Amino acid sequence: MSGEPGGSPPVDPPVVTGTHAQLPSEAEQAQVHRRTLTVVVISQILGGAGLAAGISVGALLAEDMLGSQGLSGLPTGLFTLGSALAAYLVGRSTHRLGRRLGLAHGFLAGGLGAFGVVLAAVADSVPLLFVSLFVYGSGTATNLQARYAGSDLAPEHRRGFGTSIAMVATTVGAVAGPNLIEPMGVVAGAVGVPALAGPFILSGAAYGAAGVVLFIFLRPDPYLLATRIAAGRLAASAVPGSTPGPVPTVGAGAWVGATVMVLTQLVMVAVMTMTPVHMRAHGHDLGAVGVVIGAHIAAMWLPSPITGVLVDRLGRTPMVVAAGVTLLGAGVVAALAPGDSLGLLILALVLLGLGWNVGLLTGTTLVVDATDPRNRARTQGTIDVLVALAGAGGGVSSGLVLAASSYQALALGGGLLSLTLVPVLLWARARHAVPA
């Protein structure tokens, strides 16, 4: 295989035909894993910047275009609903074609949707806004799916860490994005685009660049290589002349992990989406919104290496409990914080992001524990559909709850809901062999 632009020649995946000698050594597998993490880190930095726009100003843009606070959660609902479809398609594409093509296409679609939002704002077209936000959700789903690439070739005792490295890279772009709200608004105004659509210009460029990086450099494909290694080892250990056994069933731990991720996503998206609306109603400007959301996104991604190590060392159960308790703390602080208190709002959103981080990383590790490379990608795609639907439900319902009640009721209700993670986990451990 020829070298790639801007990098060293890739390591060709080994040809696995069932002979043990043809399988890669642990050192060779580790080398490919390190290369994979490097490429994923670069793409996630770019993808994080693309992710930030919809989170930061999507609700505000919708409120201006629709003229209704009750519908301000609709953008989050639309792009998370779009991410549900994208998660399904990326999972199926990964199963058949590998991570490289699945992730690259997902990011490129997200970039197209971001530029569509800009056009919708310029034309003041609500139908185009809805369609574009739906497509923009592809970037969100792909940004989450990329975390699995970090665990494809990781040894069992390092799965949490491998996932965390893919996640922490998002921090750089995701934190920079909200803090570019005002500068991008100035840029947008200079070219005749509404200020609130400015961050979506950044999103379109960032998502597109992430897709190009993955398409060019994610070679060899980590998922396809992991599948070949698993098949080769199975063939090497089989009795000569015997037929291959069936693909193992998905363990109960995968659905426990799915439940953890679904609940943490629902709570996080609901509270996060309405925070900018709540802040603007209390006189905070876009700069303050950017600071709060930037701190929130930093807490979502930055602790990942520490969280990954804790998941590997302390176990899955303590970390699920920690996620539930942290999200409850976020809800309580947000509910009690005065509307004009920037410091307490930052604290609440930091706790919200940290609880989500712990829940997502622990849930992801539970899914990897309970699956085999031959059924992993499809299972991951299916579960991420559920996670995305939970986010869509949280985004749409959050605006309705805010309009009918208050931000305080929304925040406290989300915190209390997160505590259901604890009985769900205890029940699953009592009924099924779920890793501790």
Highest mean pLDDT among 50-64, 158-172, 352-366: 352-366
pTM over 0.75: no
On whether residue 172 sits in a domain, the answer given is: yes
Domain membership of residue 402 (yes or no) is yes
| Residue 375 belongs to domain spanning | 25-241+250-431
Residue 107 pLDDT: 96
b (16+ CB within 10 A) / e for 256-276: bbbbbbbbbbbbbbbbbbbbb
Task: Please report which helix (H) or strand (E) contains residue 82, including its range.
Answer: helix 74-97
Element (H, E) at 352: helix 342-369
Lowest mean pLDDT among 216-225, 381-390, 412-421: 381-390
Q: How far apart are CA 251 and CA 371, in angstroms?
A: 6
279 falls in which pLDDT band (50, 70, 90)?
Answer: very high
CATH code for position 381: 1.20.1250.20
Q: What is the pLDDT of residues 399-411, one digit of tens each?
A: 888 888 999 999 9
Rounded to whole angstroms, how far apart are CA atoms 115 and 203? 8
14 within a domain of the structure (yes/no): no
Taking all residues of the chain, what is their mean pLDDT, rounded to a whole number? 83
d(CA 293, CA 269): 12
Amino acid at 271: V
Angle subtended by helix axes 373-404 and 407-418, to nearest 10: 150
pLDDT tens-place string over residues 259-277: 999 999 999 999 998 898 8
pLDDT at 292 over 50: yes
- pLDDT of 418 strictly over 80: yes
At 83 the pLDDT is 83
Determine, yes or no, domain membership for 17: no
Give the pLDDT of residue 152: 85
Q: Is residue 184 part of a domain?
A: yes
- The domain tally of the chain equals 1
pLDDT, average across residues 318-344: 94
User: Is residue 19, in this structure, part of any structural domain at all?
Assistant: no
Which has the minimum average pLDDT: 122-136, 286-300, 380-394, 418-432?
418-432
pLDDT value, residue 351: 97
pLDDT at 189 over 50: yes
Count Cβ atoms below 10 Å from residue 157 Cβ, excluding itself.
Answer: 9
Q: Is the pLDDT of residue 319 over 70?
A: yes
- Domain assignment present for residue 290? The answer is yes
Query: Residue 245's pLDDT is what?
Result: 57
- Domain contains 5: no
